[in-house]
Structure 1
């Protein structure tokens, strides 16, 4: 009994020590949990504990993504393709080390419960990832570069989405949320998305550009050398911009964009280095989920250490 108590005490001490280390261990060293809107509406589990299937060709990937079965799909190597590959419901798509999707993108349409992680998307000829008419989607720890249109667009009544720990670089139109000002009949009450711990590295615009979604939560992201603007709240949107780090970004956030009228935007606890102060106004609905906010001044180091493909344990 004494030995058992000693073992339990050692285990308890080790657990406490490990818990105390969580603030200093870089996020790249461990998996990161799901936080934000994708935890709502029943949560997002993807393929769950289904035994994984590994794919290494465009034909095998296309077949696995579009299957009606619950699946965990592991992507191996570089898969060259074109157009948009349809992703059906109840899928986890996760890249092995170095996994790359080149020349095409993923179309998550009329689907629910989808997870996409640890992939590099490059040179897509439509969108990198397009989410439409879909709910409970988690897009995490991917890298996006040098594509044709949007890197990661979410539209047409999609809801309960989290976009976390991704890196965007070498690209113009980064993230659109809501595709047009006249789609309110579908989009009002939807398009609720969380964007956190993403790295925008020299990208140009739409980080994100928001219509209708309220509240949309943009927190703890790092904006470095952004060209045109960071966040735009337009057309009935409500956006909370919280605890982000803006560096060499003249226009961090503003109301309205092009012909779209102003939405509302609340900005708080952001950090600015060589950047403008941003434009805010109005109120935003309350955030319904719990989350931990990193101090804004530490966000650059936290995000650059952990964002993008290849930064998680798989």
Structure 2
């Protein structure tokens, strides 16, 4: 009954979604989040929603074209970029490369490893499974040197954003590549209309205890929202591995040499985030909401995030994966090809105490897929799901994802219930599932702001 009722109500509405309102004319840099557009619209004691830098005066509107100019605009007259909470609008024009020096020259692994003692060939020799084994995490001088080199790279390519900031691409070709943005204990930030290319970690860590065969693990996300940051709107961006797919990095110890981390992560007590009309494509681990099973003392009651009208294309996992948070996932278009090097694993990860409320999402495969594989249990118990459609070789059809998962699960203790304990109130409308592919493909991604 809930499936039929949802369809009837959805199809009775208009076919256009409204996600934001203007503050100060048609300038998209002064656009603010609409009053019901997801969790970032929540009213709190000190904020009535998410406005970013809309209140910026003329002296705090910048156009930047390289890393140095971006940092100067973010920093203002403060000692660090994070401290500057003056309302500001930063327009990104063209391509900003983050993995460069002060003269905009590309930096290499050798540049970062100078003075640290790191040597990749010695690292491989020291921690080779036949020498180190597979039962203990790596440690010692070479691991410490690797961590030091990785930290130097992070300080160069990752930039912290202060409160009351809008960063928005100018035109249809704004890019940030080779680095990313960190929102750390700040509030009221808008990031829109930018194409992000995932940073490359020159110094992945080998962990022989990760899984049955060990794994290489990297740092650096395109956007990290963490440590109590709240009221963030991520809208109309494009995220991908770009010119550096995972396959280009090869293998060591028989495992992929993974030089990418996430694209967009929300963790450590961050709250009130709306992620709308973005394209995520050609990547492995996309978005995690909540970084640890053991962080409940910080994350309970936080990690409230809305994902709507995003295009997830040829990705492997974490679309998103959730711990603890009340997360609304609706009207997203998931598209997967058997020809992609990024093999589909799962879409929605149900983690510890997670409370995902999923509505009217469309899953499009160009091959037959088992519907029970859309969800994955990461020690979770509950997820509410309604209105999903899956298209494979046959015509699209409606599927109850929770029922499909439960039918395929032999252990009753691993089955899901739909009692998530909350119902979303902050949204403008839920579009009919059938309309989602066309709506999202027409509107999502960088370069499509009108």
TM-score, scaled to structure 2: 0.60
2: distance between equivalents of 1:26 and 1:268?
22
1:271 aligned onto 2:366: no
Pairwise CA distance, 1:187? 0.1
Give SS of 1:172's match: strand
Q: Could you report, residue by residue, the CA deviation over 1:265-299 in whole angstroms, capped at 9, with x for unpaired residues? A: 01101111129753352312121324201100110
Point out the more displaced range, 203-212 or 272-281: 272-281
1:64 maps to 73
Shift of 1:70: 1.3
Equivalent residue, structure 1, for 2:290: 178
Contact 2:347–2:376, Cα closer than 8 Å, also in 1: no
Q: Which of residues 164, 169, 173 is equivalent to 2:276?
A: 164
The alignment covers a number of residue pairs equal to 286
Change (3 A) 1:198 1:25: closer
Equivalent residue in structure 2 for 1:256, among 377, 381, 390? 377
Which is higher, the Rg of structure 1 or of structure 2? 2
Q: Where in structure 2 are the equivalents of 1:154-233 lying within 5 Å?
A: 154-214=266-326, 216-225=327-336, 227-233=344-350
Q: State the Cα deviation string for residues 117-146 of structure 1 (Å, max 9, x = none).
A: 000000313111000020000000000010
Post-superposition offset of 1:64: 2.0
From 25, 36, 39, give the equivalent of 1:37: 39
Q: Which has the higher helix share?
A: 2
Q: Which has the higher strand share?
A: 1
Q: CA RMSD in A?
A: 2.2
Q: Could you say which residue in structure 1 is the equivalent of 2:190?
A: 115
**Conserved? CA contact 2:385–2:418, under 8 Å:** no
Are 2:171 and 1:89 aligned? Answer: no
Contact 1:120 1:144 in 2 (8 A): yes
Quote the residue 1:10 is aligned against: none
1:163-219 superposed Cα distances (whole Å, 9 cap, x missing partner)? 0000011111111100010010100000000000000011110000000002x1000
Question: How far apart are 1:228 and its partner, in Å?
Answer: 0.8
CA distance in 2, matches of 1:104, 1:269: 37
| TM-score of the aligned structures, taking structure 1 as reference length | 0.85
Q: Is the CA contact 1:255–1:265 (under 8 Å) kept in the aligned structure 2?
A: no
Give ranges in structure 1 of 5+ residues lacking alignment: 1-21
Is residue 26–residue 305 contact of structure 1 (8 Å, CA) maintained in 2? no
- Structure 2, gaps ≥5 residues long: 1-13, 20-25, 75-80, 100-156, 201-219, 243-259, 337-342, 403-415
- 1:309 equivalent to 2:326? Answer no
Ranges of 4+ aligned residues in structure 1 off by more than 3 Å:
22-27, 30-34, 249-253
